[in-house]
Amino acid sequence: MKNGKRNARKAGIGAGLASALVVGSALAGPARAETVAATGSAQTGPVPTSPAPTSPAPASAVAAQTSPPPAAPRPSPLQEDRPETTWQELRASVTGDKPLGDGTGLVTLEAPKRAEDAAIVPITLRIAVPEGDPRRVKALTLVVDDNPSPVVGTFRFAEGQRHFNLSTRIRVNSYSYVRAIAETEGGALYMTRVFVKASGGCSAPALKDPVASTAHLGEMRFRSFAERGEAQVQVRHPNYSGLQMDQLTRTYTPAWFVENMTVRQGDKPVFTMTGGISISEDPTFRFSFARNAEPVTVTAKDTEGRVFTQTFPAANGT
């Protein structure tokens, strides 16, 4: 089913380009004909005699002809929204038949409008439940509508969160909506979205040499920033998407990525992540963190079944 959707999407892209060419030709045709008629090069009949003199037009009519047309009203934000056809086809596989509420005021999604590098697009998710609101968020799911595998990942919390920040880097394959879906402890879903202009992120070549990536596979880095109430963890892994081509063999590198990760502070999970091909090379996460005397343990598992674990002392960081 997923392969069928992917093929259908590729066919749709080809059809869209063909339609654009047809529309472009149709727009160019009449303009060219009007130019010929205006120059008189197609004139074959007798030259017309000068028209009889007429009385001058009223000043108001002249002003109406020479004045510039009034500026068109600016479109409202609703009119500027882009079609969400892909999401309508995708939604049932992501959220089932659950209703989706407006996530404004509950979760914020930050992303660049135009990404500098489609293979490492910075994304920040912020949970901020208003005072007096009893809701708590137990999971966040990140989706890129037009990626080959749209669900980037799901982040779960052992305890419902009222305030929590999480940043990472993702791949964006084409201009697309990026969505954050928050699930509360009561099971209700709330969504927010932004539109990101980026292209080719899932097929972009790996940044590091494959030999070097394998040599450092699974190595981890952890830092805490006490003054900011944050920490950052990185796992060295190529996170191949399956769409990257080996420039020497001209064959596609099989998908191979970190699919599960858990960060614990002592015995308490800070968050767990279930991810896919849309998380960038060397998965990196910055998150809300209150440092205490407990050590931090990070465990990651990739799609080949390899498990990487490392424990960092409580005093690690800046």
| pLDDT above 60 for 140 | yes
Give the pLDDT confidence score for residue 69 in this predicted structure: 52
Condensed to tens digits (0 to 9), the pLDDT of residues 33-65 reads 333 333 333 344 444 444 444 455 554 444 444
| pLDDT above 60 for 248 | yes
φ and ψ at residue 107, rounded to 5 degrees = -140, 140
Task: Decide if 59 is inside a domain.
Answer: no
Range(s) of the domain holding residue 296: 84-312
Task: Decide if 278 is inside a domain.
Answer: yes
Task: Decide if 174 is inside a domain.
Answer: yes
What average pLDDT does the chain have? Answer: 81
Task: Decide if 260 is inside a domain.
Answer: yes
| pLDDT above 90 for 176 | yes
Task: Decide if 1 is inside a domain.
Answer: no
Can you read off the two tokens belonging to residue 85? 């056809």
Residue among 165, 142, 298 nearest 233 (CA) = 298
Residue among 81, 92, 82, 200 nearest 143 (CA) = 92
What is the total count of domains within the chain?
A: 1
Say which CATH number the domain at 284 has.
2.60.40.2470
Task: Decide if 296 is inside a domain.
Answer: yes
Condensed to tens digits (0 to 9), the pLDDT of residues 186-228 reads 999 999 999 999 999 999 998 887 888 889 999 999 999 989 9
More confident call, 24 vs 183: 183
Lowest mean pLDDT among 66-80, 99-113, 147-161, 170-184: 66-80
| This prediction's pTM | 0.74
| pLDDT above 70 for 128 | yes
Condensed to tens digits (0 to 9), the pLDDT of residues 57-75 reads 554 444 444 445 545 444 4
Non-local (6+) Cβ contacts of 197 within 8 A are 113, 114, 115, 175
Task: Decide if 55 is inside a domain.
Answer: no
Task: Decide if 5 is inside a domain.
Answer: no
Burial 200-235 (b: 16+ CB within 10 A, else e): ebbbbebeeeeeebeeeebebebebeeeeebbbbbb
> Average pLDDT, stretch 281-288?
98
